[in-house]
Amino acid sequence: MPLRTSSKGSSRVNIETVARLLTIRNSPILLRLPPFVSALCLVVGIAWLFILPLNEYSRQTYVSENAILPGQVHTYFGGSEHNVFRAYRHEVYQMAQWSQADRLAAIEGIMRDIGLKSARQPYRYTVAGEDIQGTNVYALLQGPRADATEAMVLMAAWRNFDGEINHSGVALALTMARYFKRWSIWSKDIIILIPADSTYGSEAWVSAYHSTATEVTAWRNVSELSIKAGALQAAVAIDYPVGPWGHRFDKLDILYDGINGALPNLDLLNTAVSIASGQMGIGCSIHGVAAHSDSYQDRLKTLARGVMTQSAGHATGPHSAFMPYHVDAITLKTVGDGWHDEMSLGRTTESIFRSINNLLEHLHQSFFFYILLNANRFVSIGNYLPAAMLMAGNFTIAALALWLQSGRAPMTPTTKPADTASKLDGLQLEKVKLGDAVVLVPIQATKPMIRHLFLPVLAALAVHLFGVLPLKALVSLHRDYLTLSLQAIALASYLLPSLLSILLVRTLSASTQQIQILQSLSLLLLSAVLATLATLNFSLAFVVGVLAWPLAFVRPLFNPFAASMTLTSTNLHRSLLLAGQLLVTALYLALSPATVLYILTRYFDTSVQWTLLEMAKAWQIQGVYTALVVWAIWWPAWIVGGVVLTSSAWKPRS
């Protein structure tokens, strides 16, 4: 590969091209562009979410898997089954007054009377000094045509997600079990599961179902299952907490968010929606938006609730625990006052199970990544992912720009020249001669600087590893200390940036360039992690991206009343600069992870301790990694931002 400079002998065109390229490469406009590109990415990324509810960017849902055939069968649940249901409901109501041991025995008794094999599973978790224990009861209905390789789960937690006793839900599950037992059509086994609790009961059951040996540790004691069937194909939970005298409902709210924002295959949701609304005439809602007028506002509201739920990543019902095990699951929750009774819910469940029964292979045809706008409209990943990727891209661009800047000699002091003439005076120009073409380039632009990487790399690594500390504290301390430790973390995170920058700038005498490199590395890491997170849990990546946006624009503060400034600007100008900087600092502090957590708890009207306790339990028991993202990714990046912000304040005066 022969290399040469464009020397005298070469053609005119070539010289011009090279000269133009050289000027473009070093053009001051191009070098000042990145912050604007970054900001554009940010604005477009956020605006992107607002156009998704439009018809052009979302689609009508459709059943993709041919085998499902939703609503194609006649449902026979009715008639005398109604009497059976009412009897069971009264029994369940009675059981609610009994002790736990009697209740479990009674449920098992009913299951055995129906003719099913039944078993119990006690479990116990100890997190943050809180004991969570209970006993799941479940029974296996062996499908007459099944070969014990596949199974589906019908679930009704004893207590629903809101903590009410699920009278009618449990009764309906038992009635359905009795009814299903008489059919000869099942080609998959059916498991009837009554978890003691909506979140941890089903978690204990499904984790024991998928492990061969369970290990007893100090905080987790989950018994093994004595009865197992084949691979779980789908799970449907019923949430119908109505007492012995019944209550007619208006709509079915379909809950579908899994742990860490995993979603069930869209086909399962479509099946439930098309059966409920098409076959049974029951309206369906998503995320509790009951009066959905299909207007832009309502779609946006549903989308926003979906994004918030998904980004929290915690369980939303008994179905959530199934998602990490690649089992598609939903919860049917009855809402409102209307004219649908338990029999329509039963027929819907029957029809859903008939459809799942038809499956020839695991649900795989339809989408796994989607955002729902109402029960039958969705945005697919291709349409929404760019929003999060733009967020991540914004940080990458900022990192690249900082890296380029760090490789250049610092430009003339931060003063802003009054006019173009003085601007030119401030720069030392250098003649770059290329054949006949001569270009004037600022000398700073052509003189590369050696980057001193050791300190910034070490500092970036150290700060990111340090993020483990608040995480560890918040997930392992006793619940009485959780609020206190968050206060301590909040206070420490306000002080830490200054302390760190004193350490870096004063003790270790880090240069401006090294601070730039530190920020660049931290932003690069943040963007790479957010891009990765966007493929696992879009909403979490997007929300963290939005909350961390100032980090891409943080630059060292400077004192507008310093001697170098007094020559060029007026007093008013300097006061405005000072006010601007105070505003920036306030914004930066307001967007600290701890502050945001406080604001969120205030907004959702929950107590800080409850929120922290739920986060600790979710992290320990269900492996929800939202806490990890907040403390080990966002928090270190925020700290580095603060170090950059305060770095110039501690510079030794020379």
Partner 1 sequence: MNALRQVFNDHPKAIVFAAGALLRLLTALLFPSLPDLLTLRPEISTPVNSFRRLKEGSFLYERGLDPYDGGIFHQAPLFLSLFSLMPDPSFWIGRLVSILLYTGLDVLSADCLYSIAESGAAHTTRSFQSPRKARTWKPLSVAAIYLFNPYTLLACLGRPTTVFATAFTLLSISHACQRQTVTAAFALAFAAYVSLHPLLLLPPVGLLCYDRLCMDMDGSHDSPPHDETSFAPTTNSTIAVDQRAFPKAIPFALRFAATFAIFLALLLGLSRLLLPSWKFIPSVYLTALTLPDLTPNPGLWWYFFIEMFDAFRSFFLGVFALHMLSYSVPFCLRFQKQPLTAVVLMMGIIAIFEPYANAGTAGAWLSALCLLSHLFELSSLHRYTFPAMATLLYSTFLGPAFHHLWIYAGSGNANFFYAITLVWSLALLIILTDTVYSALRDEWEAERPEGKGKDVGQI
- Residues of this chain, 365-384, that bind partner 1 according to CB under 8 A: 368-369
- Our finding on whether 61 is near partner 1 (CB under 8 A) is no
- Our finding on whether 18 is near partner 1 (CB under 8 A) is yes
- Residues of this chain, 247-306, that bind partner 1 according to CB under 8 A: 262-263
Stretch that binds partner 1, among 17-25, 280-288, 290-298, 546-554 (CB under 8 A): 17-25
Closest distance to partner 1 from the beta carbon of 611 (Å): 27
- Our finding on whether 524 is near partner 1 (CB under 8 A) is yes
- Our finding on whether 509 is near partner 1 (CB under 8 A) is no
Stretch that binds partner 1, among 446-454, 475-483, 487-495, 609-617 (CB under 8 A): 446-454
Of residues 453 and 562, the one with the C-beta less far from partner 1: 453
By DSSP bridging, strand 150-155 and strand 189-194 are: parallel
- Our finding on whether 5 is near partner 1 (CB under 8 A) is yes
Closest distance to partner 1 from the beta carbon of 22 (Å): 6
- Exactly one of 157, 399, 475, 616 binds partner 1 (CB under 8 A); that residue is 399
- 335: tokens are 């809402």
Determine contact, residues 52/388, Cβ cutoff 8 Å.
no
- Our finding on whether 107 is near partner 1 (CB under 8 A) is no
- Exactly one of 12, 14, 112, 422 binds partner 1 (CB under 8 A); that residue is 14
- Our finding on whether 477 is near partner 1 (CB under 8 A) is no
- Exactly one of 271, 277, 396, 620 binds partner 1 (CB under 8 A); that residue is 396
Annotate each residue in 135-174 with x if it binds partner 1 (CB under 8 A) or - if it does not, as one string. Answer: ----------------------------------------
Distance CA 477, CA 495 (A): 23
Instruction: At 633, give phi and psi (nearest 5°).
Output: -125, -55
Closest distance to partner 1 from the beta carbon of 9 (Å): 12
Of residues 170 and 371, the one with the C-beta less far from partner 1: 371
- Our finding on whether 448 is near partner 1 (CB under 8 A) is yes
Strand partners, 118: 139
Strand partners, 429: 442
- Exactly one of 57, 93, 219, 403 binds partner 1 (CB under 8 A); that residue is 403
- Our finding on whether 529 is near partner 1 (CB under 8 A) is yes
Determine contact, residues 618/314, Cβ cutoff 8 Å.
yes
Where are the extended beta strands (E) located within 156-291? 189-194, 220-222, 231-239, 249-255, 283-286
- Residues of this chain, 579-608, that bind partner 1 according to CB under 8 A: none
* HSE value, Cβ hemisphere, 13 Å, CA-based, for 581: 17
Of residues 394 and 648, the one with the C-beta less far from partner 1: 394
- Exactly one of 4, 8, 74, 182 binds partner 1 (CB under 8 A); that residue is 4
Residue with tokens 């530190």: 518
Name the nearest CA neighbour of 627 among 404, 475, 415. Answer: 475
Q: Tell me the number of residues near partner 1 by CB under 8 A.
A: 36
3-class SS at 235? strand
Closest distance to partner 1 from the beta carbon of 492 (Å): 24
Task: State the alpha helices, DSSP H only, in 371-478.
Answer: 381-406, 420-426, 443-446, 454-466, 468-476
Instruction: At 373, give phi and psi (nearest 5°).
Output: -105, -35
The string of DSSP letters for 508-530 reads S---HHHHHHHHHHHHHHHHHHH
- Residues of this chain, 449-468, that bind partner 1 according to CB under 8 A: 450
Residue with tokens 């506002």: 297
> Helices 342-358 and 81-95 sit at what angle, rounded to 10 degrees?
100
Name the nearest CA neighbour of 170 among 225, 106, 123, 249. Answer: 106
Interior/surface letters 538-564, b for 16+ CB within 10 angstroms, e for the rest: bbbbbbbbbbbbbbbebebbbebeeee
Closest distance to partner 1 from the beta carbon of 6 (Å): 5
Determine contact, residues 473/612, Cβ cutoff 8 Å.
no
Of residues 157 and 266, the one with the C-beta less far from partner 1: 266
Of residues 149 and 607, the one with the C-beta less far from partner 1: 149
Interior/surface letters 83-120, b for 16+ CB within 10 angstroms, e for the rest: eebbebbebbbebeeeeeeebbebbbebbeebebebbb
- Residues of this chain, 325-364, that bind partner 1 according to CB under 8 A: 326, 362, 364
- Our finding on whether 531 is near partner 1 (CB under 8 A) is yes
Stretch that binds partner 1, among 95-103, 301-309, 414-422, 530-538 (CB under 8 A): 530-538
Closest distance to partner 1 from the beta carbon of 391 (Å): 14
CA distances from 503 to 90, 196, 452, 456, 510 (A): 70, 53, 17, 13, 9
- Our finding on whether 437 is near partner 1 (CB under 8 A) is no
Name the nearest CA neighbour of 63 among 380, 382, 373, 376. Answer: 376
Strand partners, 141: 190
Stretch that binds partner 1, among 10-18, 85-93, 271-279, 297-305 (CB under 8 A): 10-18
- Residues of this chain, 534-573, that bind partner 1 according to CB under 8 A: 535-536
* Interacting residues toward partner 1 by CB under 8 A: 1-6, 10, 14, 17-18, 21-22, 262-263, 324, 326, 362, 364, 368-369, 396, 399-400, 403, 407, 446, 448, 450, 524-525, 528-529, 531-532, 535-536
